[in-house]
A and B are shown apart, each in its own frame.
Chain A
Amino acid sequence: MTSQQKITDSPIDFAEDIIEDVKNSKDDGVLKCVQCGMCTSTCPAARHSDYNPRDIIERVLDGDVTIMEDENIWNCFYCYTCHSVCPVGNSVCEVNQILKQFAITNGIGYDKLYEYMGFADSYFTAAIGAIPEIFFEDIDRDVPGWWDFRQNLDEIRDELELDPPLMPSKEVINEVSKILTITGFKDKIDKIRESQEE
């Protein structure tokens, strides 16, 4: 299929939007990409899925906004390897975060976020980020012995003569909840939950 570039098209605008995003710490890094593929060669997500950081930048530079709808962007887990190896000082990792935010703003990817609601909830219940229960099975499969370890954490700490983990107090939890509510975090969570639980 032939793709066309009309005289009025301005593919670079998409990259400009990303550069101007507050999350971008690399100035014009994205524009300097020469598609060398060093990011992909070291990316764990690329090794285990169809996620391809180099391709992300290529599509951004092409002005291909459909990248936001690409399921693959949700496979990056922010190890920042691409960020540290990029020879031209770009960060696909940051670009990815910005793209995800664009997606969410455009109502895309709520189903992906829904899986993480457990994280969000834990901020309200404990004022810290805790691993959601729905991931326990996966983690135990990937990290043998993890479930046993978690079950017996208190005893292990005891044996090692470590104090029980320090948890935020009731007042802290209330305060954090209040902040999250006032800043609109709670509204967002509710919105995502509603969209998936209809």
Chain B
Amino acid sequence: MRDDLKVGVFLCECGGNIADIIDLDEVRKSLDVEFIGQFENLCSLNGRKIIRDAIFDHDLDRVVVAACSPISHEKTFQDYVKPLNPYLMDMANIREQCSWVHDDRKRATHKAITLINASIEKVKQSDAVDPIYCQTPKEVAVIGGGIAGMNAALSLAKQGTKVTIIEQSPSIGGHMAKIGKVFSPVKIAEECGMCLLNPILNELVWNENIEVLTNSKVIEAERRAGTYNLIVEQSPRYVDTEKCIACGKCAEVCEVEVPNDWNDNLSMRKAIYRPFGQSYPESYVIDMDNCSKCGDCFRTCNMKAIRLKGKPEKTLLQVGSIIVATGHKLFDMEKRPEYGYTRYADVITQSELGRITGVNGPTKGKLLKSNGEVPKRVVMIQCVGSRDEKPDGHRYCSKICCTVALKNANIIKHKYPDTDVLICYTDVRTPGMFEKYYKHTQENEVRFLRGRPGEVVKKGDNFIVRTEDTIKGEFVEIEADMVVLSTAMEPSLGTREIAEILNIGTTEDGFIKESHPKIKPVATDVQGIFVCGTAQDPKDITDSIMQATAAASKVSEYNYGGVEIEPFIAEIDNEKCTVCGDCISRCKYKSMSIQDDEIYIDPMSCTGCGKCLVGCKERAITVNGNVDEKIVATINGVLSKKREGERMILVFLDNIGYTAADNIGVNRLSYPESIHIIKVISVNRVSPRHIRYALENGADGIFIGEFPGDLMYDEVERKIEKVKECIAEMGQNSERVTFSKVYIPYFTGLARKLTDFDKKIVELNEAEL
């Protein structure tokens, strides 16, 4: 049947690039097909007419274009074969992988014939398929209402996208709302953080495209073709935000006092409270864990806004993309008892110092010790929990603590020039313009000591900070009456939870992992989910805003561009499938899930790697596009041209490996003619059966290359080891199979590896003679 298909072969001279080395007349004579023609430059615009005319004149079913690499011109020729389906065309790469890497005319010509023959056999197995076009819903969920989430939401809303912010606390604003003063390195001046935050908050509140859900958490998530169904649980506020006018009478009559967490527990608040003056929604909230249910607030409220009864409500939110902006928390000081934080009231964190110096803080901005006096000497200790390999410590640098310490030291010096401020540091990290601020701080007579203190002890009225002045090489005991610890930033609980719920990857430190730290800094390893702010790693406000707007921009790409997907993805036969879930756990790309009691495969994330096939006992999964048949046909197409005494090595490479191999040609390096490169969607698709089949039918060696950054790499590496064992059991030499890492820039290395492998095969062949 498929053998009867009419195949047309179009040979491109590539202006001599191909024809100078490969004898195309010989090629034409050697191949038996319905049509074969030779042209000077097929990719030029008249190539379209040549190919289309031949398809009509000869009634061609399939087309092989023997020319350059498909990486260069596959899209061109897929277009030129119209009205034939684009997937009924295959390219034989006789330039990058033949004429550019070989110089022996005869052998190169024979290899070209082999490669074209392999393409002919392969294309016969192709079927007409259509690319899958996905359009995701435009609605977006932003999880976390801090400075990152707020900016991401605003950016999207201004582009016309409907956004829902899901914030677990009673107000949006996040850490920035309580930070007190902020500074920018260029201005060399501290500014009111709330004054910068408020306009953003107002703009957000008034934007009709944004809905804010406070007291809310995502508790479940599932996805379907780029649509995420989020179950959001909203805890009751016990105050009707529509009626409450935030007059505060309720709090006046409330008799329950509890530590105010917004002030880092440095002051008290009532059980009915407003988190902070500018909090949004502009409404009070009852902390039901501490409420005595006396009913005083209920009776006092003129607006009748208080609802003492309430239950958590679950709602379904359908969105196309998600931005995770769940932020950070600070290092738990109970883990470093040597600094006495839990024992002494005047050993505090930089965050607490921020509250104390904030005009809306517990002391109305006055720097006071617990006894009400202004401290004479403040010692700051850097890197607490950061750059620390001890148990519970973090190996990374928290990035902002140096500048935070400088800022707070300056704020103290402005108001209390007589208070001595000493910063104990290991390195002062003030990159770029921040260095100017460091100099400014020195000018303000803040002192610096290079040494990492070992402990803080109480001696009489004062503390003793024990450290070495490492520049002098002297052990010193510094008297201080206030100690400030620069604590590490670590992933918030919400960040850890959402990673689990959305099934997105995290780093070893628990932050949300980008899909590539260098070139994809806002994408996660799940399609359609993006990350920004300190949920991703420690960063300052400016960086958080930049990443937030970048994430919003990536969402817009989806929303306005849609996504066209190669159709070679997995498909489930629901008649056979027992929904055992094996494939779900196998899929590294997290593209499988159960929906309505059936396995659902998300076309946006499936790569067609075929890993799910392996474990499917019911054989209910297929990957579209006859991938398996194509591999076998290609192997046959190569090996059927093997001549007496010829060595044939089959090299299986995925897109990355194939591009590296092309680069060998582009850079005019060489490797032996025995090397025949076969491009596959994923090297995982090359099964032990294929390898055995090739070796039994004349292949001298099998080389499999994989990019170590691919999610499937470990899998493939393990598999090859098994294949080798199985080859050995069959009595074949397992050294005829090899596995190697490939990287696009290291094409010289790949050329060398291919050459070395060929040498090895020569030795093996000689030994077996």
Contacts and interface: CB of A to CB of B under 8 A. Distances in A.
B475 A40 contact: yes
B475 A38 contact: no
B452 A42 contact: no
Contact of B468 (A40, A84, A88, A89): A40
A132 interface: no
A89 B387 CA distance: 11
B277 interface: no
Interface in B428-477: 450-455, 466-470, 473, 475
A6 to B, nearest CB: 26
A-B complex: 7 closest residue pairs judged by Cβ atoms: A42-B454, A41-B454, A37-B468, A40-B468, A36-B452, A37-B470, A38-B452
A97 B274 CA distance: 60
Contacts of B393: 87
Nearest to A87: B388
Interface of B: 338, 383, 387-390, 393, 426-427, 450-455, 466-470, 473, 475
Contacts of A39: 454
Contacts of A85: 338, 390, 454
A34 B387 CA distance: 10
Most chain-A Cβ atoms within 10 A of its Cβ — which of B387, B426, B452? B452
B470 A87 contact: no
A54 B453 CA distance: 13
A170 interface: no
A36 B426 contact: yes
A46 interface: yes
Nearest to B453: A41
A35 B469 CA distance: 10
Nearest to B465: A41
Contact of B473 (A38, A42, A43, A55): A55
Given A42-B455, A52-B473, A37 B389 contact: no
Contacts of B427: 34
B383 A46 contact: no
A171 B124 CA distance: 88
Given A40-B468, A86-B390, 18 more contacts: A34-B427, A35-B470, A36-B451, A37-B452, A37-B468, A38-B452, A38-B453, A38-B468, A41-B453, A41-B466, A42-B454, A52-B473, A84-B390, A85-B390, A85-B454, A86-B389, A87-B393, A87-B452
A38 B454 contact: yes
Most chain-B Cβ atoms within 10 A of its Cβ — which of A38, A55, A87? A38
Interface string A43-56: 10011000010110
Given A36-B470, A37-B468, A54-B468, A46 B475 contact: yes
A84 B388 CA distance: 12
B390 A42 contact: no
B390 A87 contact: yes
27 contacts: A34-B387, A35-B470, A36-B383, A36-B426, A37-B450, A37-B451, A37-B452, A38-B451, A38-B468, A39-B454, A40-B451, A40-B468, A40-B475, A41-B454, A41-B466, A41-B467, A47-B475, A52-B473, A52-B475, A54-B473, A55-B473, A85-B390, A87-B383, A87-B388, A87-B390, A88-B387, A89-B389
A85 B389 CA distance: 9
B20 to A, nearest CB: 50
Most chain-A Cβ atoms within 10 A of its Cβ — which of B467, B469, B470? B470
A60 to B, nearest CB: 15
Nearest to B388: A87
A57 to B, nearest CB: 11
Interface string A72-91: 00000000000011111100
A43 B455 CA distance: 11
Nearest to B386: A87
A46 to B, nearest CB: 5
A52 B469 CA distance: 11
Interface of A: 34-43, 46-47, 52, 54-55, 84-89
A46 B388 contact: no
Contacts of A34: 387, 426-427
A37 B467 contact: yes
Contacts of B389: 86-89
Contacts of A43: 475
Contacts of B451: 36-38, 40-41
Nearest to A52: B473
A85 B336 CA distance: 11
Contacts of B426: 34, 36
A102 B540 CA distance: 48
B361 to A, nearest CB: 31
A41 B476 CA distance: 8
Contacts of A41: 451-455, 466-468, 475
Nearest to A89: B389
Nearest to A84: B390
Contacts of A52: 468, 473, 475
A109 B468 CA distance: 28
A47 B450 CA distance: 18
Contacts of B338: 85
Contacts of A40: 451, 468, 470, 475
Contact of A54 (B390, B455, B470): B470
A141 B767 CA distance: 81
Contacts of A86: 389-390
Contacts of B470: 35-37, 40, 54
Contacts of B473: 52, 54-55
Contacts of A87: 383, 387-390, 393, 452
B47 to A, nearest CB: 59
Contacts of B388: 87
A36 B467 CA distance: 9
A37 B472 CA distance: 11
A42 B452 CA distance: 10
A42 B387 CA distance: 18
A86 B467 CA distance: 13
B518 to A, nearest CB: 24
B232 to A, nearest CB: 41
B769 to A, nearest CB: 46
Given A41-B475, A52-B473, A46 B452 contact: no
Contacts of B455: 41-42
A42 B389 CA distance: 17
Contacts of B453: 38, 41
Contacts of B468: 37-38, 40-41, 46, 52, 54
Nearest to A34: B426
Contacts of B469: 37
Nearest to A47: B475
B718 to A, nearest CB: 27
Nearest to A55: B473
Nearest to B469: A37
Contacts of B383: 36, 87
A52 B450 CA distance: 15
Contacts of A42: 454-455, 466
Most chain-B Cβ atoms within 10 A of its Cβ — which of A37, A39, A47, A84? A37
A40 B475 CA distance: 7
B246 to A, nearest CB: 47
Contacts of B454: 38-39, 41-42, 85
A40 B426 CA distance: 14
B511 to A, nearest CB: 20
B466 to A, nearest CB: 5
A178 B655 CA distance: 69
Contacts of B466: 41-42
Nearest to B389: A89
A43 B390 CA distance: 17
A39 B475 CA distance: 10
B483 to A, nearest CB: 14
A52 B472 CA distance: 12
